[in-house]
Amino acid sequence: MGGNGVDRDLGTTRFFRQRRKPLHGFTLIEMMVVLMLIAVAAGMIVPRFVDRAATAALREAGRDLYTTARRAREHAVTRRRPCRLVIDAQRGRFDLLVEDDPTRRPGQYRPVRRAGARRSGLDRSIRFGRIRIALPDDAESARFIQFDPMGMATAAIVEVTDGRRTWSLVVEPGTGRARLIDGEVDEMPAGRIDLDA
C-alpha cells in the first residue's frame, strides 16, 4: 500500500502537471497599463511637435520678410531705383515695389517680379505685431520701408508673431541693412554710423 499510495500520489501530481500549460499572452490589466503608458507618452510628445511646427512657421515668416528686405536694398542699389517694402498688416501681406521710371513718372511704383520667391504673405497662424517705421518729414503715415539707390533706408522695426513668440525685422537707416532678431526690439535703430567700431 505504501508503494501504491506513493505511486498514486505521483500519478495525481503528474496528472496535474500535464494539464497545466504555460500561459501565453497578456492579461487585461497588463494591456491597460501599456495603453496608459502609451497615452501618457503621446500626451507629452504631441504638443512638442505642434509647438515646433508653429515655431517653424513663425521662423519661416520672419525669414521671408527678412529676405524681401534684403532683396529690396539690393534691387534699389543695383538697379539705381528706389524700392519700397510695403507692409499690409490688415491682409497679412508684404510686397516689394520698385519706382517705375524715376525721371518721367516719379512716385509711381510697380511690383517687382518675385522670381524664386515662395510667397509674400503670412501664414494664417502668424500676424504682424508692432510696426514702427520712421516717418520722413513730409509724410503723415507710412506703411512702407523706403530703400534708396545710395543704400540707405527708412529706419524700421517690423514684428511677426504667433501670439507667443515674436521675430523682429530691424532695418538700419544708414546702411539699409536688415537684421532678423528672435524676440521683440524696443529701440529704433539710429541713423548714425559709428566709424570707430
pLDDT tens column, 152-192: 999 999 999 988 899 999 999 989 999 999 988 888 887 65
Residue 194 has pLDDT above 70, yes or no: no
Residue 58 has pLDDT above 70, yes or no: yes
Domain boundary assignment for the chain: 43-182
- Given pLDDT bands bounded at 50, 70 and 90, which one contains residue 197? very low
Query: For residue 123, what pLDDT band results from cuts at 50, 70 and 90?
Result: confident
Question: Which of 142, 129, 133, 141 is closest to 171 using CA atoms?
Answer: 133
Instruction: Round to whole Å and give the CA distance between 197 and 194.
Output: 6
Q: CA torsion, points 152, 157, 162, 163, in degrees to nearest 10?
A: 180
Q: Which amino acid appears at position 103 of this protein?
A: T
> Taking residues 16-30, what's their average pLDDT?
68
Query: In this predicted structure, what is the pLDDT of residue 66?
Result: 93
CATH superfamily name and code, 43-182: minor pseudopilin epsh domain (3.55.40.10)
Which pLDDT score, from 0 to 100, does residue 116 have?
Answer: 46
For the segment 44-57, what is each residue's pLDDT rounded down to a tens digit?
776 666 666 667 88
Higher per-residue confidence, 197 vs 20: 20
Go through 144-160 and write b for each residue having 16 or more CB atoms within 10 A of its CB, e for each that does not.
bbbbbbeebbbbbbbbb
Q: What is the pLDDT of residue 12?
A: 57
Mean pLDDT score, 100-129: 75
18 half-sphere exposure, CB direction, 13 A CA radius:
6
Give residue 149's pLDDT.
92
Q: Using a cut of 0.85, tell me whether the model's pTM lies above it.
A: no
Q: What sign results for the dihedral spanned by CA atoms 188, 169, 182, 124?
A: positive
Q: How many helices (H) and strands (E) would you count in the chain?
A: 2, 8
pLDDT band at 9 (very low <50, low <70, confident <90, very high): low
